[in-house]
Amino acid sequence: MQRVLEIMKGREFHDAVANLPAYVAANAGAVSAVKEFLKSVAMPADGISKIKDGRKAAVQS
Protein backbone atom coordinates (compact mmCIF):
# COMPACT_ATOMS: atom_id res chain seq x y z
CA MET A 1 0.00 0.00 0.00
CA GLN A 2 2.84 2.40 0.78
CA ARG A 3 4.20 1.93 -2.75
CA VAL A 4 0.80 2.77 -4.28
CA LEU A 5 0.63 5.95 -2.19
CA GLU A 6 4.14 6.91 -3.27
CA ILE A 7 3.17 6.49 -6.93
CA MET A 8 0.01 8.54 -6.45
CA LYS A 9 2.01 11.37 -4.87
CA GLY A 10 4.54 11.39 -7.71
CA ARG A 11 4.87 13.93 -10.52
CA GLU A 12 4.41 11.30 -13.27
CA PHE A 13 1.03 10.25 -11.85
CA HIS A 14 -0.12 13.86 -11.44
CA ASP A 15 0.93 14.67 -15.01
CA ALA A 16 -0.94 11.63 -16.37
CA VAL A 17 -4.12 12.50 -14.46
CA ALA A 18 -3.87 16.15 -15.56
CA ASN A 19 -4.22 14.94 -19.16
CA LEU A 20 -7.54 13.21 -18.42
CA PRO A 21 -10.67 15.28 -19.00
CA ALA A 22 -12.62 16.21 -15.82
CA TYR A 23 -10.06 14.70 -13.40
CA VAL A 24 -7.93 16.52 -10.83
CA ALA A 25 -5.24 14.82 -8.76
CA ALA A 26 -4.96 17.60 -6.18
CA ASN A 27 -4.97 15.23 -3.18
CA ALA A 28 -3.85 11.99 -4.78
CA GLY A 29 -2.12 9.75 -2.26
CA ALA A 30 -3.42 11.66 0.74
CA VAL A 31 -4.70 9.56 3.63
CA SER A 32 -7.69 10.99 5.48
CA ALA A 33 -10.67 9.91 7.55
CA VAL A 34 -13.80 9.06 5.56
CA LYS A 35 -15.75 11.94 7.12
CA GLU A 36 -13.05 14.47 6.20
CA PHE A 37 -12.78 13.10 2.66
CA LEU A 38 -16.54 13.34 2.12
CA LYS A 39 -16.50 16.94 3.35
CA SER A 40 -13.72 17.77 0.88
CA VAL A 41 -15.64 16.40 -2.11
CA ALA A 42 -19.16 17.51 -1.14
CA MET A 43 -20.88 18.95 -4.19
CA PRO A 44 -22.86 22.19 -3.80
CA ALA A 45 -26.30 22.57 -5.36
CA ASP A 46 -24.95 24.57 -8.31
CA GLY A 47 -22.97 21.53 -9.52
CA ILE A 48 -19.60 23.27 -9.24
CA SER A 49 -16.98 21.98 -6.84
CA LYS A 50 -14.19 24.27 -5.67
CA ILE A 51 -10.83 22.56 -5.84
CA LYS A 52 -8.26 23.51 -3.18
CA ASP A 53 -5.92 25.16 -5.68
CA GLY A 54 -8.69 27.57 -6.69
CA ARG A 55 -9.78 25.94 -9.94
CA LYS A 56 -13.36 24.78 -10.41
CA ALA A 57 -14.57 21.53 -11.92
CA ALA A 58 -18.08 20.88 -13.22
CA VAL A 59 -19.91 17.75 -12.15
CA GLN A 60 -19.69 15.01 -14.76
CA SER A 61 -22.66 12.62 -14.85
Q: Tell me: the pLDDT tens digits for 23-42? A: 777 777 778 888 887 887 77
Averaged confidence pLDDT in the chain: 75
pTM of the full predicted structure? 0.47
pLDDT at position 3: 92
CB 49 within 8 A of CB 41: yes
At residue 16, does pLDDT exceed 80? yes
In sequence order, what are the residues at sequence separation of 6 or more whose Cβ sits closer than 8 angstroms to the Cβ of residue 32? 40
Distance of CA 4 to the CA centre of its chain: 16
- Segment 34-58 shows an average pLDDT of 65
Higher-pLDDT residue of 29 and 47 is 29
Per-residue CA distances from 58 to 6, 10, 29 (Å): 28, 25, 22
| Domain boundaries defined on the chain | 2-58
